[in-house]
Amino acid sequence: MYFTLMETNEKRYVMFDNHTHHTPYDADLMAREASLFHSQYTCMGARGFLVLSPSAEKDTDFSAVFYSEKGCEKAVLLDEAVCAVAFAESLGIPLDSGKFFAGDVPVRYERKSAPEKTALQILEDFDLPRSPSFFRYGTENLCFYSLNLPSPHGVILLEYPGIFHSSELLFLAKILANDPLRFPKGGDVSFIESAEDDRLEICTYVREENRLSRSSSEGAVACAVVHHALHPEKERLRIVSAPEEKLLCFSRQGNSRHISFYSSACCISKGTVLEKEAFCSLS
pLDDT of residue 283: 35
Residue 126 lies in a domain: no
The answer on pLDDT for 171 being more than 90 is yes
Do 69 and 46 have their domain in common?
yes
Separation between Cα atoms, residue 239 and residue 231, nearest integer Å: 15
Do 78 and 184 have their domain in common?
no
pLDDT of residue 170: 92
Please count the other Cβ atoms lying within 10 Å of the Cβ belonging to residue 53.
Answer: 18
Do 271 and 229 have their domain in common?
no
Residue 118 lies in a domain: no
Full residue range of the structural domain in which residue 230 is found: 133-263
Q: Quick one: CA dihedral 111, 27, 270, 243, positive or negative? A: positive
User: Is residue 130 a contact partner of residue 143, using CB atoms and an 8 Å limit?
Assistant: no
Domain count, the chain: 2
Reported as a single tens digit per residue, the pLDDT across 100-156 is 999 888 888 887 765 555 667 776 666 777 788 888 888 888 999 988 877 889 999
pLDDT bucket at 280, cuts 50 / 70 / 90? very low
Residue 124 lies in a domain: no
User: Is residue 217 a contact partner of residue 202, using CB atoms and an 8 Å limit?
Assistant: no
CATH code, domain with 211:
3.10.310.10
User: Is residue 72 a contact partner of residue 93, using CB atoms and an 8 Å limit?
Assistant: no
Phi first, then psi, for residue 34 (nearest 5°) are -60, -40
User: Is residue 208 a contact partner of residue 174, using CB atoms and an 8 Å limit?
Assistant: no
Do 51 and 164 have their domain in common?
no
Separation between Cα atoms, residue 63 and residue 8, nearest integer Å: 19
